Structure 1
Amino acid sequence: MWILLNKDEPADKLGEVWDIYDGNRRLTGSKHLRGQELGIGEYHLVVNALILNDDGQVLMQKRSFNKISYPGIWTVATGGSALAGENSRQALIRELSEELHLRVTSDRLQFINSINYTDWIEDWFAVRIDASLTNLVYQSSEIEAIRWTPIQEAIKINNQNGVNDNTLLTQAQKLLF
C-alpha cells in the first residue's frame, strides 16, 4: 500500500529532539538535541526498514550527497532517528512516509533485530510492498535515486560500500517469503 504526498524537507534536521536511553534500552527521562554530543552511556533510537517487493527484490536508495553520514552511497536501509516520544514502529512509519511517501501500518512491519552501537540503538524491520518505482516518490533532500535490486546484487553492493547489512537482508527475506 502506498500514497503520494507533496512534501520535501531538508536532510539531517539538526534541530530534532530525541529521547535518551540507557544501555538496557530504558528511557532515562532526558532529552537530546541532535547535533550535540551524547554523554557516556547515553543512547538514542534509530530505526531502519528493509523494503522488499513481491518479486523478492530489495529497494535500494542512493543517499543524498548532502547527508552527514554515508553521502552518495547505495544502501538498503530506509529510516532515521526516532523523535522524542516515538517508539520504533511510530518512528519508522513516519520515516517511510517522509522519505518515500510510503504509508504502511504497524502490523506490516516485521521486526528483525535490535543492535546497540556506540551511542545509538538501531531497530531493524522488514516490510513487503507491492509498488513499482513509478509509484514511489522519494524525498530529494534525502535520496538521489531508488531502484529494485536482487538480494545477491544488494549484498555485493553492501560489501563494496563497507556496509554489513547482509545478515539482516537474509533474515528479512526469510521473514517475508
Structure 2
Amino acid sequence: MDELIDILDENGRPTGKTAMKSEAHKKGWPHPTVHIWFYTANGQVLLQQRGEHKDTHPLLWDVSVAGHIGAGEEARESAVRETQEEIGLKISEADLEPIGVFKSYHEHREDLIDFEFHHTFLAELKVPLSSLRKQQSEVESLDLVPLMQLAEEVWGLANPQKYVPHEVAYYKQVIRSIKQRL
C-alpha cells in the first residue's frame, strides 16, 4: 500500500519534505520506519514471516511488526497502528520501550532502494500466540522462538538465509535489550 511519508536527510533529521513511499523507494530517499519486537516473560520472541507477495524478502522471517511512519505521524503512534494492523493486537504507547534508531540501507534493485531509519521498540507480549490475527496481505505466518535460538541464528549467522538481512549490530542490540528485560 502506498502512503505519504516524511523524507529525512542522510543523518535521519526531518527535511520538511514528504513523498509517496513508492517514490522514496524508487529514488532511495531516507525515511522513518518502526520496528516492534515482542518478547514473552519466558524468553521467547515473536517473529513474523513476511508475505509471499512482498517486494522485498518474501517469506523470510523478520521483526514482530514493522512499517512506515506516516507523514506527520509520531513513531510511537505509528508503532501502535502497525501492531493493530499487522497482528491484530491493541497496545498503548506506554507499552513500547525504545531501544534506538538504526540506519539501514539496502539496494534491492535499481528502482527499489530502502534507505530507512528504524525507530525500534520492545514490548512484552502478554497474550497467547493463538489470539493474534495476522494481516493476510502482509504476513504469511507468526511464530514464537526462544531468544537464544534467534541469537544463534542471526547473531552467529548460523541460519542467515531464513531471516531478513539486518546488520549484525542491529540484531545484537535487539537481543541484548530483550535479555536485559528477562
| Structure-1-length-normalised TM-score | 0.83
% of aligned pairs identical?
Answer: 26
Unmatched tracts of structure 1, length 5 or more = 1-12
Which shifted more, 83-92 or 28-37?
28-37
C-alpha distance in structure 2 between counterparts of 1:41 and 1:134, whole Å: 38
Shift of 1:156: 3.5
C-alpha distance in structure 2 between counterparts of 1:145 and 1:41, whole Å: 29
C-alpha distance in structure 2 between counterparts of 1:168 and 1:102, whole Å: 24
More helix by share: 2
Shift of 1:88: 1.0
Whether the 8 Å CA contact 1:111–1:124 is kept in 2: the answer is yes
Does residue 175 of structure 2 align to residue 170 of structure 1? yes
1:108 corresponds, among 80, 90, 95, to 95
Q: Deviations over 1:99-127 (max 9, x none)?
A: 00111111111111111234221111100
Does residue 89 of structure 2 align to residue 93 of structure 1? no
More strand by share: 2
Q: Deviations over 1:114-142 (max 9, x none)?
A: 11234221111100021111111111111
How many residues in Structure 1 have an aligned counterpart in Structure 2? 164
Shift of 1:41: 9.0
SS at 1:90 equivalent? helix
Q: What is the RMSD of the two structures over their aligned residues, measured on CA atoms? A: 2.1
1:126 corresponds, among 116, 122, 125, to 122
Aligned residue number for residue 57 of structure 2: 70
Q: 1:92 to 1:124 in 2, by over 3 A?
A: same
Higher relative contact order (CA 8 A, sep 6+): 1
Whether the 8 Å CA contact 2:38–2:123 is kept in 1: the answer is yes
Whether the 8 Å CA contact 1:88–1:123 is kept in 2: the answer is yes
Aligned residue number for residue 152 of structure 1: 148
2:14 corresponds, among 9, 14, 27, to 27
Q: 1:78 to 1:168 in 2, by over 3 A?
A: farther
C-alpha distance in structure 2 between counterparts of 1:50 and 1:105, whole Å: 14
Letter of the 1:136 counterpart: L
Unmatched tracts of structure 2, length 5 or more = 106-114
